[in-house]
């Protein structure tokens, strides 16, 4: 397991509640090869996960004044994911968009998607934004944890966090090595029938005297044509994906921890300019696409219980994305590049003032985005530049502070605020700049041992992206042109949120656990940025503009019940949104969704199995405004309801000679349902038989 002595809370009672929870989480989630003897420990960790993203300090999710979901290592392994959609689609308030093609997928939280959700990978911001392309460029099997924080979070995470935050963390050697082991390897093979996909993964890892942990892993997915409902094939959906990851965890001295990640992703395949669309020679042509992403990050943390005022954290990163597209059959060649460099450094000080206990976190964040694009072998080429993705650069400075004040035992009030400045520069248009202060006040009250109540009020801020501000050139066709809009104003939101949680252990029988969370939120948004198209593909214009006022409100429910031999969970989300000026619905709001999981555990046989269901209502609350002429887009057209059923099973062989073997199998969309999500244009995958076999060996 991962070393946790450097987080020992016993030497300082003030740090104990915070660092103790963090050490518990690291310890319980340190090994991915779950054996039946540890089944109850892992169940406890899954029902009592620890979040850092919500407040930048470690807390059990039941203690933070927000609706937070933590997908831990075991959840990810049990889900046997082939893409990020598998991990996120079951969560209330979270919806995937972009259709079934992997690299067209993006995420929406509470009806806010794209740049309205901050996404990070090992601390590195994933800021890529280009028409109809997704933002997840990694193998989900490499993840050890995903934190989803819903709602306004600009007070800590700055521009873009008006919908929420998704923080992804990759695996490390400690997830595979048990106590006393110094080296090992893991290999995995998986097959997905829905796309005739073969998956290969191999990794080696080692540890030196609890000072250095190193993991190197290579994975490869060979994906063929994807099958939609009723066995229909989706043309141009095959692809090859490769991931090479290196991660080192260093503990040069007691209380110091350094993590270094280097991740290289490569995807190659014949697809469409808009992955969430159908083939059109003029508007959505076929392209031979090569995508490469390189991420490097360094994270440092110091936590000495004898120094409560000094607990610094530093995150430095570089994220480089290249996309090459060769149009078929004209061989027009486009390149797209986004480089993001940044850092986030903060410190948390723990101290008392009289009867009040404080945990003050203050820090600064800085990052730049530099985008470049070229076009060759085309009649529209101008000096090799591409108007649809203009050369531009943005720079963001942020300064924030948060004080977690324990006023009474069980009552914590947390005021916070952040000031951001934004500058955008492009040769295509005049420079832009903006600044905003994002305050937030939140409270969590542990009213009873089994009941907690929380609430918050926060101001959110999102600066216009480079593409939204400076895009020009042809849009739907040669006659419809993008018009840059350097006058775009930042989006702002005011969000009020409240909820309660129930937490029972030994509720109905010995060793059971029940968790329940209910949340209501109300968001008033100003200057929402939307794309407005006038005319048709043959003539007209397209520009990004601000909508003066919009309202989004809704409720989310989640519940989990665990027994020594059974488990279950439920999730429900109901979201409504409208343009407050016109009274028409917002087209980005997903349909009502209910999810359920029911399963059983047979620890004496090393078996876990169950059923998963997703039930989505009809979405008829649409604006009815045509996207272009009389042809509606996927968001402005109604979508029917659907029900998708899946089954899954996991087997850990018990004999000694099979220790380290793990088998996962399942069937997604058992009844081959044909359905389309509201935030997508294409029908989703049909029936998909999946199986994977992994072997982990430590020495």
| Local confidence band at 199 (pLDDT 50, 70, 90 cut-offs) | very high
Write out 562-603 in H/E/C secondary structure: EECCEEEEEEEEEEEEEECCCCCECCCCCCCEEEEEEEEEEC
pLDDT for res 17? 45
How far is Cα 135 from Cα 112, in angstroms, rounded to an integer?
A: 15
Question: Are 531 and 542 spatial neighbours (Cβ–Cβ below 8 Å)?
Answer: yes
Residues 6+ apart with CB under 8 A from 685: 100, 194, 195, 226, 227, 228, 229, 668, 669
How far is Cα 19 from Cα 559, in angstroms, rounded to an integer?
A: 27
Q: Tell me the percentage of the chain whose pLDDT exceeds 70.
A: 88
Q: Structure pTM?
A: 0.89
User: Which token pair is 466?
Assistant: 């480079």
Question: Are 532 and 471 spatial neighbours (Cβ–Cβ below 8 Å)?
Answer: no
Judged by DSSP in three states, 476 sits in strand
Mean pLDDT, the chain, whole residue set: 86
The answer on pLDDT for 129 being more than 90 is: no
Question: Are 221 and 692 spatial neighbours (Cβ–Cβ below 8 Å)?
Answer: no
Residues 6+ apart with CB under 8 A from 379: none
The answer on pLDDT for 47 being more than 70 is: no
Judged by DSSP in three states, 173 sits in helix
User: Which token pair is 184?
Assistant: 């090992």
Q: Tell me how far apart the terminal alpha carbons of the chain are, to the nearest angstrom.
A: 13
**How many CB atoms are located within 10 Å of the residue 35 CB?**
15
| Local confidence band at 21 (pLDDT 50, 70, 90 cut-offs) | very low
Place of tokens 């399963």: 599
| Local confidence band at 472 (pLDDT 50, 70, 90 cut-offs) | low
The DSSP 8-state label assigned to residue 44 in this structure reads H
Write the pLDDT tens digit of every residue in 393-437: 999 999 999 999 999 889 999 999 999 999 988 876 778 888 899
**How many CB atoms are located within 10 Å of the residue 468 CB?**
21
Beta strand segments in 251-311, E: 256-272, 286-302
The answer on pLDDT for 128 being more than 90 is: no
Report the top-level CATH class of 5-698: mainly beta
pLDDT for res 202? 98
**How many CB atoms are located within 10 Å of the residue 434 CB?**
18
What residue segments make up the domains of the chain, in order of their start? 5-698
How far is Cα 581 from Cα 310, in angstroms, rounded to an integer?
A: 49
């Amino acid at each position: 397991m991962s070393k946790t002595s450097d987080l020992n809370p016993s030497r300082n009672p003030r740090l104990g509640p915070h660092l103790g929870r963090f050490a518990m989480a690291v310890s319980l989630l340190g090994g991915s090869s779950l054996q039946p003897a540890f089944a109850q420990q892992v169940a406890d960790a899954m029902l009592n996960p620890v979040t850092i993203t919500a407040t930048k300090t470690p807390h059990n999710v039941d203690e933070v004044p927000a609706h937070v979901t933590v997908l831990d290592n075991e959840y990810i392994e049990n889900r046997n994911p082939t893409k990020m959609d598998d991990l996120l689609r079951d969560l209330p308030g979270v919806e995937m968009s972009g259709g079934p093609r992997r690299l067209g997928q993006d995420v929406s939280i509470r009806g806010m998607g794209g740049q309205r959700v901050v996404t990070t990978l090992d601390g590195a911001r994933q800021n890529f934004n280009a028409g109809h392309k997704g933002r997840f460029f990694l193998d989900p099997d490499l993840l050890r944890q995903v934190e989803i924080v819903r709602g306004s979070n600009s007070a800590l995470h700055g521009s873009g966090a008006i919908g929420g935050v998704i923080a992804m963390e990759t695996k490390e050697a400690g997830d595979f090595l048990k106590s006393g082991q110094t080296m090992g390897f893991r290999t995995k093979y998986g097959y997905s029938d829905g796309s005739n996909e073969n998956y290969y993964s191999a990794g080696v890892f080692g540890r030196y005297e609890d000072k250095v942990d190193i993991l190197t892993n290579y994975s490869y997915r060979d994906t063929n044509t994807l099958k939609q409902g009723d066995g229909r094939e989706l043309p141009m959906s095959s692809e090859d994906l490769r991931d090479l990851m290196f991660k080192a965890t260093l503990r040069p001295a007691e209380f110091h921890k350094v993590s270094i990640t280097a991740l290289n992703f490569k995807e190659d395949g014949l697809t469409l300019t808009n992955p969430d669309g159908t083939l059109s020679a003029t508007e959505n042509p076929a392209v031979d696409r090569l995508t490469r992403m390189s991420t490097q990050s360094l994270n440092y943390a110091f936590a000495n219980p004898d120094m409560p005022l000094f607990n610094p954290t530093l995150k430095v990163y570089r994220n480089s994305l290249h996309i090459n597209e060769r149009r078929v059959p004209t061989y027009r060649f486009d390149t797209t590049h986004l480089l993001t460099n940044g850092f986030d450094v903060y410190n948390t000080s723990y101290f008392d003032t009289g009867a009040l206990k404080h945990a003050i976190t203050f820090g600064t964040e800085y990052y730049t985005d530099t985008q470049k694009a070229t076009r060759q072998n085309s009649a529209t080429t101008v000096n090799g530049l591409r108007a649809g993705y203009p050369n531009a650069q943005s720079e963001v400075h942020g300064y924030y502070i948060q004080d977690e004040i324990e006023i009474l035992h069980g009552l914590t009030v947390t005021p916070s605020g952040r000031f951001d400045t934004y500058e955008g520069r492009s040769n295509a248009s005049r420079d832009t700049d903006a600044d905003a202060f994002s305050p937030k006040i939140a409270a969590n009250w542990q009213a009873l041992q089994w009941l907690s109540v929380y609430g918050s009020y926060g101001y959110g801020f999102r600066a216009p992206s480079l593409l939204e501000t400076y895009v020009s050139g042809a849009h739907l066709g040669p006659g419809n042109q993008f018009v840059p809009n350097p006058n775009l104003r930042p989006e702002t939101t005011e969000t009020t949120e409240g909820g309660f949680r129930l937490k029972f252990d030994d509720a109905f029988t010995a060793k059971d656990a029940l968790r329940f969370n209910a949340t209501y939120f109300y968001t008033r948004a100003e200057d929402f940025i939307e794309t407005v198209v006038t005319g048709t593909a043959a003539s007209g214009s397209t520009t990004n503009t601000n909508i003066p006022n919009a309202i989004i409100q809704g409720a989310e429910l989640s519940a989990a019940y665990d027994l020594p031999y059974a488990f279950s969970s439920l999730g429900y989300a109901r979201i409504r949104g409208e343009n407050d000026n016109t009274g028409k619905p917002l087209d980005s709001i997903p349909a009502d969704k209910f999810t359920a999981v029911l399963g059983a555990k047979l620890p004496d046989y090393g078996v876990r199995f169950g059923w998963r269901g997703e039930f989505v209502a009809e979405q008829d609350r649409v604006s009815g405004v045509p996207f272009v002429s009389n042809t509606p887009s996927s968001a402005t057209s109604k979508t029917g309801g659907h029900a998708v059923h899946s089954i899954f099973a996991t087997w850990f062989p018990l004999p000694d000679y099979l220790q380290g073997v793990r088998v996962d199998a399942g069937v997604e969309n058992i009844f081959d349902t044909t359905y389309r999500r509201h935030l997508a244009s294409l029908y989703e995958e049909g029936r998909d038989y999946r199986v994977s076999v992994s072997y982990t060996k430590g020495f």
